[in-house]
Amino acid sequence: MTRRRLLWLLLAAACGSPAPAAYTRENEAAQRARQRGQHAEAAAHYERAAGAAKNARDAEESRYRAADSYARAGDSTRAEALLRVLAAQGPDAERRARADFALADLWQQAGAPERADAQRLAALRRHPSSGLARKALEEHLGYLREHGGGAQALAYLQSEAVALSNSELGETLAYRTARELDEAGRLAEARDAYLSCAQRFPYPRGVYWDDALFRAAQKELELGAPARAVEHLQRLLAEQESAVFTGSYERARYAEAQLELGRIYRDLFHDPARARRELRKVWQNHATSTLADDALFQEALVARDSGDAAGSCAPLSILVSKLPQSRFAPCAHLLCPSLPASPQPCHDYVKRAAGLP
């Protein structure tokens, strides 16, 4: 046996035998029909492909595509029939879940929102760890808010907390509970719920970890506890600061948390020196953030208001040289005359907010 022949046999064994010709032919015909917008024809081809498939997984995939094509063609009866079979008999949990949630979407599109939500709720209970569950939960909460307000959405979240807390949906339930409490104005309860969410689902796996800590800090400020707010923000930023050692991922709230620290030291603790250091860190640690220019300009204003007019020039020099497109760049000369005047005017709203002439 030649080396080439042996290699071909090994590759064939590794990849498995090719799909039946009829299965491939029908799938390709279905795709061409979909591209032409002939969805009923595509569905018929997909069903024939399912009949020609060699294994259950390929057959199910073709039937799922047939159901989708029937739905696009406006034949909800056939689409529903296929999806019901798939939801009950799919060979693996995620594929069963996909069909189960698709039934809710089918009825939503057919103008039956009550029936759709009932199906969505049942699918959530059957498949709480599905990758589709989070989206379905948000849709169910939206339905509850529309028909019963935030109180009804909160009641649902609290009732499901025990049953679903250990599923993949557990973190979303915890976070959404905190948000509903927040929107209801129950500040202390919302703060506690945000902190509980961050504690139960910590960095780096917690999807809502940084947002929960940031919002907890906001609640502390509203409750008159700025020192506790600083603790939460520093806890958040501690993970960002360890990035060089652990390879941690940038989180959306990092730059915002750093900017908030600067504002707290400026406005609530009346510590301009510390405020300037914290504001500079936004640029130092988050140079690509859209908040970097805001932080540099605020640092310059703190320096000016502290009687350190010359100290305004350092952050403004960075702003002009590194972020020349910033809305604040044309105003730099007004705070630091040694910088060249910009050909663009400083916006009036910026001058008013900064107390500039």
Q: Is the model more confident about 287 or about 93?
A: 287
Is 30 part of any domain?
no
What is the arithmetic mean of pLDDT over 89-116?
88
Is 237 part of any domain?
no
pLDDT at residue 305 above 90? yes
pLDDT at residue 317 above 50? yes
Least confident of 92-96, 287-291, 338-342: 92-96
Task: Give the closest residue to 312 by CA, choosing from 344, 263, 352, 272.
Answer: 272
pLDDT of residue 266: 98
pLDDT at residue 91 above 70? no
Contact (Cβ atoms closer than 8 angstroms) between residue 92 and residue 129: no
Is 117 part of any domain?
no
Number of domains composing the chain: 1
Question: Cα separations (Å) of 287 from 254, 255, 276, 294, 299?
Answer: 12, 9, 16, 11, 15
pLDDT at residue 225 above 60? yes
Is 322 part of any domain?
yes
pLDDT of residue 15: 52
Contact (Cβ atoms closer than 8 angstroms) between residue 63 and residue 46: yes
Kindly indicate the confidence band of residue 160, based on its pLDDT and cuts at 50, 70 and 90.
Answer: confident
pLDDT of residue 12: 41
Is 328 part of any domain?
yes
pLDDT at residue 85 above 60? yes
Is 273 part of any domain?
no
What is the arithmetic mean of pLDDT over 273-297?
97
pLDDT at residue 329 above 70? yes
How long a stretch of residues is the chain? 357
Kindly indicate the confidence band of residue 13, based on its pLDDT and cuts at 50, 70 and 90.
Answer: very low
pLDDT tens for each residue of 332-341: 999 999 999 9
pLDDT of residue 242: 54
Is 133 part of any domain?
no
Residue 319's CB: how many other CB atoms inside 10 A?
A: 26
How far is 103 from 68, CA to CA, in rounded Å?
Answer: 10
Owning domain of residue 298:
280-357
pLDDT at residue 312 above 90? yes
How far is 121 from 256, CA to CA, in rounded Å?
Answer: 36
pLDDT at residue 353 above 50? yes
CA–centroid distance for 67 within its chain:
29
Helices 292-305/313-322 angle, 10° precision: 160
pLDDT at residue 4 above 90? no
Kindly indicate the confidence band of residue 246, based on its pLDDT and cuts at 50, 70 and 90.
Answer: very low
What is the arithmetic mean of pLDDT over 267-291?
97
